[in-house]
Structure 1
Amino acid sequence: MKTLTIMQVLPELHSGGVERGTLEIAQALVTAGHRSIVISAGGRLVRQLESEGSEHLALPVHRKSLRALWQVYKLRKVFIEIKPDIVHVRSRLPAWLCKLAIKTLPRHQRPKVVSTVHGLYSVNGYSKVMAQADAVVAVSKTVTAYIQENYPDCFGPHCELIYRGIDPASFPWGFQPSDSWLQTWNSQFPALAGKTLLCLPGRITRLKGHREFVQLIDRLQRAGRDVIGLIVGDPDPRRLGYFQEIKALVSSLELDSAIVFVGHRADIREIYAISNIIFSLSTKPESFGRTVLEPLAMGRPVIGYDHGGVGEILSALFPQGKVPRLDDAALFEKTQTLLSTPQTPNPENPFLLAAMKQQTLDLYQRLASAD
């Protein structure tokens, strides 16, 4: 098996599914004896990336402006010096910058390009670049259909379905938090002790369904349910106005003691474990839905809108949790039902991290070996 140099390129390394997937593949490459390099503008995950054996090159490949074109020259220089076998692009702007840089190289020096379509991007020429790589990875059947429908001239055998996955050891079935964790949690949030907890994880952005979640908590409270809504995640620093809108809605409904904003947490597994129900209420279809898969793998019930990757995961593991998109009545009734009669997900999880890693490394080998 050939030893490879793989270069992954993405905007930043702060948090999120794209970033986590990048680190997972980087770690798999290092474990398999390959050279793993990541190019990004940096972020909180750089330290972990490097501690796990990968290299990081800091370039501002995240700024959508004409200045970004300066990075084409820098990327070209990097490609000439390092000679990667594969360049794996994970976002549109980096994909364009890499495409322009590679185009200037002599044909025999050009690395193969893999793209992963992590999202259901707006359909236009700018987004099409994600479907024009030597191999295109779709993270779900939803994404496969999106590519086939919107870029049929790009769809073909080079488009490969590789589901995202999780490590069962990280989110074990039936997991319970330690006594020390519970003690710390109860000291931080004493008002939550003994309460019914409903959890909405994910960054606080307009499409994630926070308004619908707050309104659900309000309706449940008025129906006599003593529930607390946990909103787990940071607000988007570029859209703090929306965060203020949600906080104003909470105050207007007099839910200040019933909605708790806990911010970004590294202990999301423990929070899943103490939550009665976890929710996924993105108003726009998600390409996958890791925050749905994680609690389901632990045996925790999840309620989510039946569309996109979330619908795929729920169909496989917990169809009882599916509700039509933006159907407030169905969401309320489903929540009432699962609170009154708790149900358990299917323990046979097909979405495994090990499979995702192996399929991706196999793809790299096939491409690097092709003429």
Structure 2
Amino acid sequence: MADVESVKADMARPLKIVQVLPALNSGGVERGTVELARELVRGGHTSVVISFGGRMVDGLIAEGSEHITFPVHRKSLWSLLQVRPMRRLLESLAADVVHVRSRAPAWIVWLAWRRMNPATRPRLVSTFHGMYSVNFYSAVMARAEHLIAISNCVKSYITTNYKVDESRITLIPRGLDPAAFNHDACTPAWKKTLFQQYPQLKNKHIILMPGRLTRWKGQEAYLQMMSRLIQLRQDCHGVVVGDAEPGKQHYFDELLAMRSALGLDEVVTFVGHRSDIAPFYGLAAVTCHMSNKAEPFGRTVPESLASGTPVVAYDRGGASESLNAGYPQGLVAPDDVVGFAARVHDLIDADAVIKLPENYYLSSQLASTLDVYRRLLGRV
């Protein structure tokens, strides 16, 4: 009986989890890391994040995690000089699990971890956030003891290209916070402030395009789609939320030139990087997902659906999986801009019946991730 009680106590013991990623500026990986850290703290666990820093660090610390600034961001052989300092850091942290989320830090962590005492070192987990190019550099993500895939298409990619046994992979969709993404996020006060800043949005059906300004995200196709949509109805206004990646301001300039060439200067507004994406979903009539290649997950799809806003997306990749699960009528054939505009037009006035499964929420992601940790630690 005492042994059973000790096992139960060990299973319930709070864990110390270290997540490692290049930086904490913006993006889905970064947001996912911060959200999981917050949920770990809420669950009574100790959360540590190692990165080179960024604008999300203050919020991470305010929510109860510890942040350690460490040069894990460089894709360079010079990063190998960080292996010994990383090993000392991991030994001092005495964590239960180290969870790597990107290739450059994964190399530093793995090289440090493999020289640690197997009896006392933490367990090593990696999350495949993308369908990485198949080469020696990317293969480090498959060297962890257990792998998490964020979608079925990513899981299939891992098994096909890295020959990893399925028993070492767990499918866990990236979860969203229902306290942030819901029908009530778009408040009258928020709308009033936004309309003061952008009066052109008032009394319009907002067609939302969230995401970093980068060529594969599909902003060019979005502008082409808006050009066709505005021919069908003039009561729409496009809103692009997101900024250009460092060193790629020229792409934003290209988009502005394209907007002008299509005669959309008064029809599409770029609002730049925003930390208040949730109310934008609530404001929108339709959210667009137009990546020109299969995206590993596409978190804007479940975020919008959780906010009660229909999504139109190309039928491919992880975005297709979540849209199939919650709002399949939003799917259109890949790269069909004409069909995309027609579907947006049809859905603006339609009654949306959205049912997003529970496994797309943070509570499910946390429970599933903790289950991975505890199984590795032999506590299940």
Q: TM-score, normalised by structure 1?
A: 0.94
Within the candidate set 52, 55, 59, 2:63 is matched to 52
Query: 5+ residue gaps in structure 2?
Result: 1-11
Aligned match of 1:183: 192
Partner of 2:165: 155
Alpha-carbon deviation of 1:62? 0.7
1:304 is matched with 313
Shift of 1:349: 3.0
What amino acid does structure 1 have at the position aligned with 2:181? F
In the alignment, what sits opposite 2:290?
A: 281
**Partner of residue 140, structure 1:** 151
Q: Deviations over 1:167-188 (max 9, x none)?
A: 223222x436322222211110
Q: 1:257 to 1:370 in 2, by over 3 A?
A: same
Please point out which of 203, 211, 214 is paired with 1:202: 211
1:20-42 Cα distance to aligned partner (Å, 9 max, x none): 22122222322333221110000
Residue range with higher mean Cα deviation, 285-294 or 208-217:
285-294
Aligned residue in 1 for 2:231: 222
**1:261 equivalenced with 2:270 (yes/no):** yes
**Which residue, 14, 18, 24 being the options, matches 1:13?**
24
CA contact (8 A) 2:21 2:51 kept: yes
Distance 1:59 1:285 in 2: 32
What is aligned with 2:122? 111
What is the 5 A alignment of 1:72-83? 72-83=83-94
Please say which of residues 218-227 and 230-239 is displaced more in the overlay.
218-227
Give the alignment's TM-score, normalised by structure 2: 0.92
The share of aligned pairs that are identical, in percent, is 44
| Other structure's SS at 2:133 match | coil
Say whether residues 1:364 and 2:378 are aligned partners.
no
Answer whether contact 1:297 1:349 (CA < 8 A) is retained: no
Instruction: Give the superposition deviation at 1:105.
Output: 2.2
Aligned partners of 1:289, 1:236: CA distance in 2, in Å?
A: 18
2:103 and 2:311 map into 1 onto residues whose CA distance is: 31
CA distance in 2, matches of 1:20, 1:105: 30
- 8 Å CA contact retained: 1:198, 1:279: yes
In structure 2, the CA distance between the partners of 1:232 and 1:132, relative to structure 1 (3 Å rule), is: same
Q: Is 1:321 matched with 2:358?
A: no
Question: Within 1, Cα distance between the matches of 2:86 and 2:95?
Answer: 12
Instruction: Kindly tell me the number of residue pairs found equivalent between the two proteins.
Output: 368
Distance 1:187 1:143, change over 3 A: same
1:344 corresponds, among 334, 345, 352, to: 352
2:128–2:147 Cα contact (<8 Å) kept = yes
| Residues 56-100 of structure 1: CA deviation (Å, up to 9, x unaligned) | 110111111222112112101102222222110000111111111
Q: Which amino acid aligns with 1:37?
A: V
SS in 1 for 2:293: coil
* Inter-partner Cα distance in structure 2 for 1:118 and 1:300: 25
Amino acid at match of 1:345: V
- Determine the structure 1 residue equivalent to 2:4: none
Cα distance, 1:176–1:108 mapped onto 2, change above 3 Å: closer
**Does 341-350 or 1-10 show the bigger shift?**
341-350
Match of 1:40 in 2: 51
Q: Is the 8 A contact 1:196 1:226 kept in 2?
A: yes
Partner of 1:167: 177
The root-mean-square deviation of aligned C-alpha atoms, in Å, is 1.8
Q: Alignment partner of 1:107: what SS?
A: coil
Q: Equivalents in 2 of 1:134, 1:66: separation in Å?
A: 24
Say which SS state the counterpart of residue 216 (structure 2) adopts. Answer: helix
